[in-house]
Amino acid sequence: MSEDKTLEFMAIAMKYFPEAKEQLEANGIPFSMEMAAPFMDLFKKVMQEAYELGKSDAQQ
């Protein structure tokens, strides 16, 4: 995956971070950027797989 795509994926994640934080905290789960790191790694994997799937579909 290119560095550009990783940065794009992270920008998407940061766009929705406040909403995710609000949802978690509304359910009694405190959440911070430090806690987000493992989830960001998972998010990057999901986005990469989704990107490759979309790319494959577009080529067909």
The span from the CA of 40 to the CA of 15, in Å, is 13
13 confidence band (pLDDT: 50, 70, 90): confident
The span from the CA of 38 to the CA of 4, in Å, is 20
The per-residue pLDDT for 1 is: 58
User: Could you read off the pLDDT of 21-60 as tens digits, one per residue?
Assistant: 999 999 999 988 888 888 888 888 898 899 999 989 999 8
Instruction: Tell how far CA 55 is from the center of its chain.
Output: 18
* 5/29: higher pLDDT: 29
What does pTM read for this prediction? Answer: 0.67
Q: Give, as one character, the DSSP assignment of residue 28.
A: T
Contact of 31 with 20, CB cutoff 8 Å: yes
The per-residue pLDDT for 25 is: 95
Tokens matching residue 18: 């406040």
